[in-house]
């Protein structure tokens, strides 16, 4: 039975096929517009992200103004930036008018500072003030994630008063599972869950049933730490407080899900040296420079590995079989290193690896590398002995394989921590560093042993 995600993908491809047929055959555009605006904003965003640039322009022009803002908050930052460049200041202000403050801030951050100021000036005074508050904090902090649209109550009020107060609102903010209890200076005191509010005696006070054991999020807390707290505590929302303990907003689960997805995208794309917001259908002149940088870095590391081979040129000239077997050693080390690196980077991202347990993990990986090395080195040695009828060559490649797999284990375990300490992103740079390490050590051990035995 197809999963929900598979159904979404299939539906997107069906819609895309229909749009493509109409555009290619100069068909009735009104039917496309009707179909497009009959979709949910998230489905429209999927359709835009799955379309090449020329089709995107046509589709975006057909999206109704009242849903454009919701569509923008569902698509990648890269594509959002491309679309915003085609719009004037007033259009951006209009489509973001009814969005949550944190979503507006996310959209505006894709614009140059000068344009952001112009958009803010075009907003109402109340919206401008709220958006400026969120924009004043770093994007990857609790302050950057928060929405300032919150409901607060005082502890002395009865539940009946609170309920009557809520009924005065035309609607309450999305994901409101609890109200935030504050004193007269807006200092956070605790929370009042909606379930308690609705099921408790209306004559008792907020103070009697409020929770005081839930901590608020400091406004400067990193978004990854916020996500961990939500995961550990099964939160739907959490208060955000400033340095004085005053409540300034709240973070909700939908914002945290976005953080989790972005972190996952970052880890995946960084392995290839790409930005997590990389647009699948980005124009040629945007895609090429981004990839060129890491291709250049890879070229330098490849030259380093080749220079090691060049040192043993005389040995290779005399024993041609070495040229045939060399890639095997490097490849085995590369795969083993990638396995260890993936486990370690994931563990670091989840906060499971630290100074107290890294030594144990290192020992485990070394033993795993050694045992796998002995297993596959034995098999590789037998194949080499049969292939080239040379026992010495079999021993050399077996020994080099063991050395490189142990090196891969050590490098894959320690490199992420080292890179993190010097301020580099392990997900982005550890793969290149580890590949270089296993190539150099693999070639050096294999050719070095060959030189020792054959020359």
Check whether 140 has a pLDDT greater than 50: yes
Provide the 10 A C-beta neighbour count for residue 400: 30
As a whole number, mean pLDDT of residues 127-156 equals 87
The whole-number pLDDT of residue 308 equals 87
Write the pLDDT tens digit of every residue in 256-269.
988 887 776 666 66
Write the pLDDT tens digit of every residue in 21-54.
655 555 567 777 787 788 888 888 888 887 777 7
The whole-number pLDDT of residue 406 equals 94
The whole-number pLDDT of residue 242 equals 92
The whole-number pLDDT of residue 57 equals 83
CB 248 within 8 A of CB 219: yes
**Helix ranges restricted to H, 136-243:** 142-145, 159-167, 194-199, 206-209, 223-233
Using DSSP, state whether 9 is helix, strand or coil: helix
Write the pLDDT tens digit of every residue in 229-239.
998 888 999 99
Q: How far apart are CA 409 and CA 340, in angstroms?
A: 6
More confident residue, 371 or 291: 371
As a whole number, mean pLDDT of residues 145-167 equals 91
List 240's β-bridge partners, or say none.
Answer: 217, 249
**Predicted confidence band of residue 300 (pLDDT cuts 50, 70, 90):** confident
Write the pLDDT tens digit of every residue in 312-349.
888 888 788 888 888 899 899 989 988 898 888 878 87
CA distances from 308 to 291, 301, 360, 436, 447 (A): 26, 11, 33, 11, 9
Check whether 63 has a pLDDT greater than 50: yes
The whole-number pLDDT of residue 18 equals 62
Check whether 375 has a pLDDT greater than 50: yes
Check whether 1 has a pLDDT greater than 50: no
Domains and CATH numbers, the chain: 4-142 (1.25.60.10), 152-270 (3.10.580.10), 284-454 (1.10.357.20)
Q: How far apart are CA 435 and CA 453, in angstroms?
A: 27
As a whole number, mean pLDDT of residues 281-302 equals 72
More confident residue, 110 or 240: 240
The whole-number pLDDT of residue 36 equals 79
**Predicted confidence band of residue 273 (pLDDT cuts 50, 70, 90):** low
């Amino acid at each position: 039975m197809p999963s929900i995600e598979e159904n979404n993908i299939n539906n997107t491809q069906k819609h895309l096929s229909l749009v493509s047929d109409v555009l290619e055959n100069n068909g009735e555009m009104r039917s496309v517009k009707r179909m497009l605006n009959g979709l949910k904003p998230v489905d429209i965003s999927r359709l835009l992200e799955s379309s090449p640039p020329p089709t995107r322009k046509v589709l975006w022009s057909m999206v109704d103004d009242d849903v454009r803002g919701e569509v923008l908050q569902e698509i990648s930052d890269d594509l959002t930036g491309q679309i915003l460049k085609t719009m004037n200041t007033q259009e951006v202000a209009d489509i973001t008018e009814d969005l949550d403050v944190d979503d507006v801030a996310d959209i505006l951050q894709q614009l140059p500072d000068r344009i952001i100021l112009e958009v803010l000036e075009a907003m109402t005074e109340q919206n401008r003030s709220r958006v400026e508050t969120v924009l004043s904090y770093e994007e990857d902090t609790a302050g950057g994630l928060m929405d300032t649209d919150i409901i607060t109550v005082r502890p002395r009020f009865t539940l009946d008063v609170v309920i009557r107060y809520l009924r005065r609102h035309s609607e309450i903010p999305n994901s409101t599972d609890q109200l935030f209890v504050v004193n007269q200076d807006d200092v956070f005191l605790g929370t009042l869950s909606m379930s308690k509010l609705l099921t408790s005696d209306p004559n008792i006070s907020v103070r009697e049933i409020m929770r005081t054991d839930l901590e608020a999020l400091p406004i400067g807390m990193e978004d990854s730490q916020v996500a961990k707290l939500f995961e550990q505590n099964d939160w739907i929302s959490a208060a955000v407080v400033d340095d004085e303990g005053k409540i300034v907003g709240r973070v909700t689960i939908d914002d945290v899900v976005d953080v989790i997805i972005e972190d996952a995208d970052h880890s995946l794309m960084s392995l290839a040296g790409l930005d997590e917001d990389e647009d699948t259908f980005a124009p040629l002149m945007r895609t090429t420079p981004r990839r060129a940088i890491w291709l250049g870095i890879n070229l330098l590391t490849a030259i380093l590995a080749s220079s090691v081979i060049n040192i043993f040129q005389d040995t290779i000239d005399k024993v041609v079989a070495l040229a045939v077997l060399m890639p095997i050693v490097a490849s085995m080390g590369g795969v083993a290193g990638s396995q260890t690196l993936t486990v370690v980077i994931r563990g670091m991202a989840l906060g499971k690896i630290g100074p107290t347990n890294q030594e144990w993990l290192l020992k485990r990986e070394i033993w795993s590398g050694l045992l796998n090395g002995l297993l596959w080195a034995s098999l590789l040695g037998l194949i080499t002995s049969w292939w080239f009828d040379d026992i010495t060559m079999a021993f050399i490649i077996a020994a080099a394989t063991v050395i490189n797999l142990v090196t891969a284990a050590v490098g894959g375990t320690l490199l992420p921590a080292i890179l993190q300490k010097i301020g580099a992103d392990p997900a982005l740079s550890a793969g290149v560093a580890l590949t270089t390490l296993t190539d150099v050590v693999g070639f050096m051990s294999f050719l070095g042993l060959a030189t020792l035995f054959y020359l």
